[in-house]
Amino acid sequence: DTEVTQTPKHLVMGMTNKKSLKCEQHMGHRAMYWYKQKAKKPPELMFVYSYEKLSINESVPSRFSPECPNSSLLNLHLHALQPEDSALYLCASSQRENTEAFFGQGTRLTVV
Amino acid sequence: LAKTTQPISMDSYEGQEVNITCSHNNIATNDYITWYQQFPSQGPRFIIQGYKTKVTNEVASLFIPADRKSSTLSLPRVSLSDTAVYYCLVGLNSGYSTLTFGKGTMLLVSP
């Protein structure tokens, strides 16, 4: 199984809502990542988890809160987002930091 | 972080070989070079990784000259389905910078 599964595929939320994005992998990878990608731009690294501990936070606003409950799961909790946060959110995993990464299909988020 | 420079876009025709060059003048001794492919509204997909000389797998070849200041991704006999954005990443194999994406090259393959 070389899949990274992200749910939901699409999400529309209001600026006062609280929602969560989920990411799951069963490849035994110990590094997991969240990226944000706007249209026609490259993916932008947000967070890196290594062995279930947050190792990189690329100065992401606190309205984005990552969580790694176990080695297979990665969540991104969203609260009080702005319309400019609308984007494709990608999750990835790798055996350890910076080896070949496998990406999920992403969650298309629209903030209204 | 080693900065990468790629052409913004390239055009090709089906059946041709495509070479995409990436410049990385300040590559460090321990840095690896990795290429990813991305289709619209999908996550990037790993294509190939190398450190020096030539690496080949079932989908592509990666050529790295001795000075390692550039690299060339070679796609043999492209098809319409190879139309995608191709990203060159440079960084330590044990440091997060290998997963920091540059601007990428949009490859358009026409019939």
* pLDDT digit string, tens, across residues A18-37: 999 999 999 999 999 999 99
Return the closest-CA partner of residue A1 out of A27, A22, A24: A27
**Confidence band, pLDDT 50/70/90 cuts, at residue B6:** very high
Alpha-carbon span B84 to B12, nearest angstrom: 12
Contacts of A33 (CB under 8 A, 6+ apart): A45, A46, A47, A48, A49, A91, A92, A93, A94, A101, B99
Beta pairing class for A107-111 and A10-13:
parallel
Mean pLDDT throughout B52-76?
A: 96
Alpha-carbon span A17 to A5, nearest angstrom: 23
Beta bridge pairs of residue A108: A10, A88
Alpha-carbon span A43 to B44, nearest angstrom: 9
Mean pLDDT throughout A46-54?
A: 92
Nearest by CB to A105, which of B43, B94, B96?
Answer: B43
Query: Touching check for B3 and chain A: CB below 8 Å?
Result: no
Mean pLDDT throughout A57-86?
A: 95
Alpha-carbon span B55 to B64, nearest angstrom: 9
The answer to whether residues A90 and A1 touch, using CB atoms and an 8 Å cutoff, is: no
- Residue of B96, B98, B103, B106 for testing the chain A interface, max A β-carbons within 10 Å: B96
Contacts of B17 (CB under 8 A, 6+ apart): B74, B75, B76, B77, B78
Query: Touching check for B9 and chain A: CB below 8 Å?
Result: no
**Confidence band, pLDDT 50/70/90 cuts, at residue B91:** confident
Name the percent of chain A lying above pLDDT 90: 83
- Residue of B85, B99, B101 for testing the chain A interface, max A β-carbons within 10 Å: B99
Mean pLDDT throughout A46-71?
A: 93
- pLDDT of B97 > 70? The answer is no
Query: Touching check for B29 and chain A: CB below 8 Å?
Result: no
Give B108 to chain A, closest Cα distance, Å: 14
- pLDDT at residue B2, as a whole number: 63
